Structure 1
Amino acid sequence: MYLGPPPRSSLFLALLFSGPLFADDLFLDNQPLPQVLTATRLKQSAAAVPGSMTVIDSELIKASGARDIAELLRLVPGMMVGYTTGNQAAVNYHGTNASDARRMQVLIDGRSVYRAGLATVDWSDIPVAMEDIERIEVFRGPNTVSYGANALMAVVNILTRSPANSQGTRIKVTRGERGINDYYASQGIGWETGDLRLSVSGQQDDGFDSNALGTDRRDSRRLNRFSLAVSQTLNQQQSIDWQFSAKEGSNQRPYTYKPVFSGITEGGTNSDVTAKDYAGSLRWNFDFSPEHSLYIQGSAQQWDRRQLWKACDAKVSFSPELTQLWQLNSNYAEQLSRHMEAYSQDAAPPGSAAEQALATQVLEQWKSGGKDSVCGTIDQSTRESRYDLELQDTLSLTDSLRLVSGMNYRYDRADSDTYFNGTLDDNTWRLFGHLEWRANEHWLLQGGAMFENTHLSGNSLTPRIAVNYLINPRHGLRAVYSEAIRSPDMFENNVNWSYRVTNLDSPAYGQNSGQYFVKTRGPGDLDQELMRSRELGYNGFFTDIGLNVDVKLFYDEVTEMISEPLRNNQYIASNTNRSRFTGIETQLDWRVSAADRLRLTYAYVDASATNPLDQQQTARNSGSAGWLREWGQGWSSALFYYGNDALNQYRFERVDMRVAKRIALGKANLELAGMLQQRLDNQPTTWADNNYDHRHVLYFSAELEF
């Protein structure tokens, strides 16, 4: 289905300069302007933001019926939501080749959950329940200025409900097709100077049904979460917020290991991942006056991934001589290994004297039992830790001048015998500032910068400058120029990838364990990726008809890109790639009446890249449409459409419908809801191996509040 051409600017100009727009009551009425925080760390109206914002509020979250944060992001124009497997979402703004969110910062209440070690965000494993989310603010564009490296293309800030707004008891269960089995329970209590929310939740489903060959797709998931949030007032000027969360679960993984040597059976069963995550944060707030505030926040996180699997290959794969040959010339060693049987009938392939000498020894080993299959255990487990300390000061210097500034220190550590041959760590220091100057009632000038020093990647300074022309407080035009960087992650730049196989079923060269001959080393000298972004936009809030409109024209260039897939024995990282994104995005949110709400998004993204893989993850046309309706007597419904014309060459179109009934039970409230998702296309999801046996799924939920 074609989603249509970019919206015509004449429509918005007609709305913009229509008579009612300049009525005095738009300047003087007491209705508060909706505000966002994520763009600059200052509370601002949408018309005053130096960029494009999308807010997914609690009403949309509930009406969507979504079980995962990644699915909610389909409501964001320009967001490309795909899947590598059923339990691994791949979400990127505007695209690029990375199957993980390497170029997007993801926060929970301002705390980053981006894993710097392996360059990823585990969307299904984020330790926050959907029911605990108040709203999601998405800054659509580069924002290194406010959040440092990795906020290259967008920032997703997941804001949870405050304990003060979580009083009482909530219990919810969800059951449905495809093995859907979720639960949620929370208890909120308050006292004279504070509030507390405790919640437990869990999810389970079977993932996709079949792969491209029609066999079962091994990608189910199971997880349980725990969350505790406390807010405590100390005095009129000070308060403390602290949180603790934990998650445990398991994600199935398809067995993808292929023996290097011909004639060897795979021998594997599964490579499933057992995950345990922990996170804690403490924030001390100081409100000195309405014009001056400060906070100090510390956080600690740990991601534990245990992954053990069985692999079989030829005995010669543990040969010390083959390992030396790989280190001497990996291409020569791979050529020899792939055609070992043929070379064993003749002679070693042409090469240097040292290469041929080692190859001759390896061929002799092959002929004297080296072709026999041996099996053992591979431990691909990883542990990542992060400690973060941040200080931020917000000051109104005058009625027209505001400044937010601060500093941040972060320590990251990754432990993996497979990926790093032990431990690798990194230290990051940041200084940031953003200045907002209201020159008069119409002109708003903003500028900011972030200086960052990373031990593994060096220094960077990224600026942003924006001019907003406020036609009135609810309508604004904007012009923005910004630069952003992305530091190479530990994996990309410093990987030391090799497999140690233990518990061999037969000894290999006198040992019951051995080091696989293939080794991959990162270059160690990768530069930072650089993005230059230009944006023109308009944001308007038509109070008389309840309509909010945002339009964005963009021209973004990313240079020094690291586009190579993260694969053993085929990973040659470089900064030789670049991409360009141009196009238009728009979103419309219209509260037609007290009972009806309409929401539309559309993105036209024209992408070009030196690496063809960087274009495959960009849909030229994508969008969503939603209608929320309150029917009365406790009945409500929501209808959503999501579509893109080609993400990794596969079209995606789906209609979701949710119908709910609220029932009063004395002082308690019960909501019963049914959710139907219907695919309109008949194609795999993102990759050829992601298939469902049926184009629809149905699930139901019951939620009790008292």
Structure 2
Amino acid sequence: MRCLLPTLALLLPGLAQAFASQDDLFASDSELPSVLTATRLKQAPAAVPGAMTVLDRELIRASGARDIAELMRLVPGMMVSYRQGNLATVNYHGSNSSEARRLQVLIDGRSVYRPGLATVDWFDLPLAIEDIERIEVFRGPNTVSYGANALLGVVNIISRKPQDSLGTRLQWRYGQTGINDWYASHGQALDNGALRLSLSGQADNGFDKDANQQPLRDDRRLNRLLLSAEHDLDSQQQLSWQLALSEGSNQQPYTYRPVFGPYSPGDQGSDTQVRDYAASVRWNIDLSPQHSLQLQGNLQHWEHLRSWRACDAALSYYPPLRQLWQMNPQFAQRFALSGFTATSQVAAEQALANQIINEWLNGSGRQETCGTVNQDLRESRAEIELLDTLSLTDDLRLLSGVSLRRDQADSQTYFAGSTHNNLGRLFGHLEWQASERWLLQGGAMYEYDQLGGDSLTPRLAVNYLLAPGHGLRALYSEAVRSPDLFESTPNWSYWITDISPNIYGRSDAYYFVSNQGPENLDNERMRSREIGYNGHFEAWQLSLDVKLFDDHISGLISEPLLNNAIPASNNSSISLRGMETQLDWRASSRDRLRLSYAYIEDDPSNPNDKHQSARHSGSTGWLADWGQGWSSSLFYYQMEALNEQPFQRLDLRLAKRLQLGSSQLELAGVWQQRLDSGTLAWREVLYNGQQIQRESRNDQRHRVYFTAELEF
């Protein structure tokens, strides 16, 4: 709060002047930018029922970011971290950030939230950062507009239109930590539209060391293809479509530790082969100036294929031990960790325990053996959605829609085969301009989820329009998150093949640990209250947004998803309170300043969720145009004690644009300097209650890379 008061003190005189003597509250010398993500209606920022952050193309380019996840550091309240080096996680306001389950992420209206493991693969998205027009982030629950999984917020990534990117563009980026990226695109005008083909590749060596100062195996390689087109069928109909593909590999460290016997890794790790295929088509029909329809269909398929060699004592594959685990996993844990000294009062359990002890004592169970572990996972989604936008009167707009979706996951390891989920949604949003100053909005979504059951989530908002571009807002909303396939229906067990030497007369066997889902999980439920202000001071070219929030999530699923853990439950809850502010000021025709700040107080019932929110976080940026083709940008990012590790970084980008006839060449360099002494750390809770810290660190506190881009 102390950081916000000086800013408000500076703005109050201008605020009073802007509000004084306004004959027409909707008159303005310039058209204010509009946003679409909040309600799916085109709205001015001051009329939105919630807090919004827009990362425009200029800001994205000036940041010098290579990854979409890194751009989220510019959004107030976003927590960005990495686990196993190359796996970025992004969460809004925290909660269990080891699995980013509560944030809906869209690319041009197509959800990239994976249905099987309830997460988002930020690096593997089939969209290059160079193809992004803007990113709209709705900071708050929005189940009303986007269904379950939009519990904490919505990130809507909007790509460039083909007609806005005609011509050819080539780019190459090279730098420290093995950075070697490339991009090529060509946009072509058609008789009734335009088409663009983009090809891109991205590679780096990740971090240098882990917590033990050992080389961290986390190289990344990815290639992408994006083909997009738009067609004007006639004056009232437009058709757009996309085909997207990404293929690559992510190195994974060897993290298995034997339950029995000494540590003896079978190899140094393995690569996860990743593939993402997507297709979408959108048909817009303008029935009249007051009435329009939008029909969109999406198909998506993910593949994450991984196998590696693991070593343990033969006892790990002993059938009686697996039977004991399936009978009573809690006792089996105690029995294994106690060195076979724990006893059971249940005769059948103790009989199995005695067999296991004899197998260990006679030496057969002590033999070290290695086998191949398969962790392949294939996921797919098919979805169709119809939106209807109707202006009932000049002051009353209604958006309504219906959607159907089917999710499927296939994995012998995670699901013992295949599992699926069907969803159906009905939703609507009503906007009523009750008077010059008062804007009333309400909406609700009914969702049927085959696994989570029925849910109805409402939102009510009141916006008081102080003047053109200035509005106060107050809203109450409810949201749900339905359990994903992996939480609800896991049948997690490892079938080990190519075992050498053979055990119990076989070359393949089940590992004794397994986990089956409860299949009766309820939805997580959230109640959110927010008051805020959004204003645009036209004379100063300054935009300001302030948000105060009070959120409570009940039925929270906090347990780590591990195959040797007790199944997930709805036994946790968390309260989140605080404030956020963001400021964007075009101080002159050549200077732009941007600030964001978030203060969050979290009160979780589960202590494992306590360190997932940084109390203070924010960013500061200065974009400058020096003339003669020179430009620069300077960004400072800060998070206080996320996972008990501070984060401070300074990014400097310097660029020179050259005119080569009808072509343009831009040369740019980026310097990233860590200012803190911490690491990027990830706390993981083991099934026995212990915690391990997975740390990612570099030998140097800075990273430098250069970019050359040619447009013609």
TM-score, normalised to structure 2, is 0.96
The residue number in structure 2 matching 1:648 is 643
The residue number in structure 2 matching 1:360 is 354
The residue number in structure 1 matching 2:229 is 230
The residue number in structure 2 matching 1:445 is 440
Q: CA deviation at 1:6?
A: 6.2
Q: Does 1:618 align with 2:613?
A: yes
The residue number in structure 2 matching 1:182 is 181
Taking the aligned partners of 1:676 and 1:624, their CA distance within structure 2 comes to 16
Shift of the 72–668 alpha-carbon distance from structure 1 to 2, 3 Å rule, reads: same
Shift of the 127–6 alpha-carbon distance from structure 1 to 2, 3 Å rule, reads: farther
Taking the aligned partners of 1:359 and 1:443, their CA distance within structure 2 comes to 71
Taking the aligned partners of 1:177 and 1:202, their CA distance within structure 2 comes to 17
Q: CA deviation at 1:502?
A: 0.3
Q: Does 1:529 align with 2:524?
A: yes
Q: CA deviation at 1:272?
A: 2.0
The residue number in structure 1 matching 2:685 is none
Q: CA deviation at 1:22?
A: 4.3
Task: Please tell me whether the aligned partners of residues 210 and 693 of structure 1 are also in contact (alpha carbons under 8 angstroms).
Answer: yes
Paired amino acid for 1:33:
L
The residue number in structure 2 matching 1:116 is 115
Q: CA deviation at 1:306?
A: 0.5
Q: CA deviation at 1:632?
A: 0.5
Q: Does 1:511 align with 2:502?
A: no
SS in 1 for 2:113: coil
Q: Alpha-carbon deviations, 1:111-134, whole Å to 9, x = none?
A: 100012111100111110000000
Where do residues 78-477 of structure 1 align in structure 2 (5 Å cutoff)? 78-263=77-262, 265-340=264-339, 349-368=343-362, 369-477=364-472
Task: Please tell me whether the aligned partners of residues 91 and 100 of structure 1 are also in contact (alpha carbons under 8 angstroms).
Answer: no
Q: Post-superposition, which runs of at least 4 consecutive aligned residues in structure 1 deviate over 3 A?
A: 2-15, 19-27
Q: CA deviation at 1:322?
A: 1.2
Q: Alpha-carbon deviations, 1:19-65, whole Å to 9, x = none?
A: 57545587433411210000000000000000000000000000000
Taking the aligned partners of 1:219 and 1:379, their CA distance within structure 2 comes to 19
Q: CA deviation at 1:349?
A: 2.8
The residue number in structure 1 matching 2:689 is none
The residue number in structure 1 matching 2:710 is 704
Q: Does 1:488 align with 2:487?
A: no
Q: Structure 1: which 5+ residue stretches go unaligned? A: none
Task: Please tell me whether the aligned partners of residues 169 and 709 of structure 2 are also in contact (alpha carbons under 8 angstroms).
Answer: yes
Q: CA deviation at 1:10?
A: 5.0
The residue number in structure 1 matching 2:629 is 634
Taking the aligned partners of 1:351 and 1:374, their CA distance within structure 2 comes to 32
Shift of the 8–165 alpha-carbon distance from structure 1 to 2, 3 Å rule, reads: closer
SS in 1 for 2:270: coil
Q: CA deviation at 1:7?
A: 5.8
Where do residues 45-84 of structure 1 align in structure 2 (5 Å cutoff)? 45-84=44-83
The residue number in structure 2 matching 1:594 is 589
Q: CA deviation at 1:98?
A: 2.9
Task: Please tell me whether the aligned partners of residues 533 and 556 of structure 1 are also in contact (alpha carbons under 8 angstroms).
Answer: yes
Task: Please tell me whether the aligned partners of residues 85 and 208 of structure 1 are also in contact (alpha carbons under 8 angstroms).
Answer: no
Task: Please tell me whether the aligned partners of residues 6 and 584 of structure 1 are also in contact (alpha carbons under 8 angstroms).
Answer: no
The residue number in structure 1 matching 2:571 is 576
The residue number in structure 1 matching 2:659 is 664
Task: Please tell me whether the aligned partners of residues 143 and 151 of structure 1 are also in contact (alpha carbons under 8 angstroms).
Answer: yes
Q: Which 10-residue stretch deviates more, 464-473 or 19-28?
A: 19-28
Task: Please tell me whether the aligned partners of residues 4 and 581 of structure 2 are also in contact (alpha carbons under 8 angstroms).
Answer: no
Taking the aligned partners of 2:678 and 2:2, their CA distance within structure 1 comes to 18
Percent identity over the alignment is 57
Taking the aligned partners of 1:60 and 1:391, their CA distance within structure 2 comes to 33
Shift of the 283–79 alpha-carbon distance from structure 1 to 2, 3 Å rule, reads: same
Task: Please tell me whether the aligned partners of residues 254 and 265 of structure 2 are also in contact (alpha carbons under 8 angstroms).
Answer: no
Shift of the 25–597 alpha-carbon distance from structure 1 to 2, 3 Å rule, reads: farther
Taking the aligned partners of 2:420 and 2:571, their CA distance within structure 1 comes to 26
The residue number in structure 1 matching 2:678 is 683
Q: Which 10-residue stretch deviates more, 685-694 or 130-139?
A: 685-694
Taking the aligned partners of 1:136 and 1:22, their CA distance within structure 2 comes to 36
Q: Alpha-carbon deviations, 1:179-238, whole Å to 9, x = none?
A: 000000000001220100100001101111101111101111000000000101111111
SS in 1 for 2:358: helix
Task: Please tell me whether the aligned partners of residues 174 and 181 of structure 1 are also in contact (alpha carbons under 8 angstroms).
Answer: yes
Taking the aligned partners of 1:648 and 1:414, their CA distance within structure 2 comes to 31
Q: Which 10-residue stretch deviates more, 627-636 or 267-276?
A: 267-276
Q: CA deviation at 1:350?
A: 4.0
Shift of the 334–612 alpha-carbon distance from structure 1 to 2, 3 Å rule, reads: closer
Task: Please tell me whether the aligned partners of residues 22 and 467 of structure 2 are also in contact (alpha carbons under 8 angstroms).
Answer: no
Taking the aligned partners of 1:22 and 1:631, their CA distance within structure 2 comes to 38
Taking the aligned partners of 1:682 and 1:338, their CA distance within structure 2 comes to 36
RMSD: 1.6
SS in 2 for 1:149: coil
Shift of the 629–21 alpha-carbon distance from structure 1 to 2, 3 Å rule, reads: farther
Taking the aligned partners of 2:282 and 2:196, their CA distance within structure 1 comes to 16
Taking the aligned partners of 2:287 and 2:280, their CA distance within structure 1 comes to 22
Q: Structure 2: which 5+ residue stretches go unaligned? A: 683-693
Shift of the 476–19 alpha-carbon distance from structure 1 to 2, 3 Å rule, reads: closer
Taking the aligned partners of 1:423 and 1:268, their CA distance within structure 2 comes to 29
Q: Alpha-carbon deviations, 1:43-93, whole Å to 9, x = none?
A: 000000000000000000000000001110111011111111332111100
Taking the aligned partners of 1:11 and 1:419, their CA distance within structure 2 comes to 56
Task: Please tell me whether the aligned partners of residues 265 and 310 of structure 2 are also in contact (alpha carbons under 8 angstroms).
Answer: yes
Taking the aligned partners of 1:106 and 1:543, their CA distance within structure 2 comes to 32
Q: CA deviation at 1:509?
A: 1.6
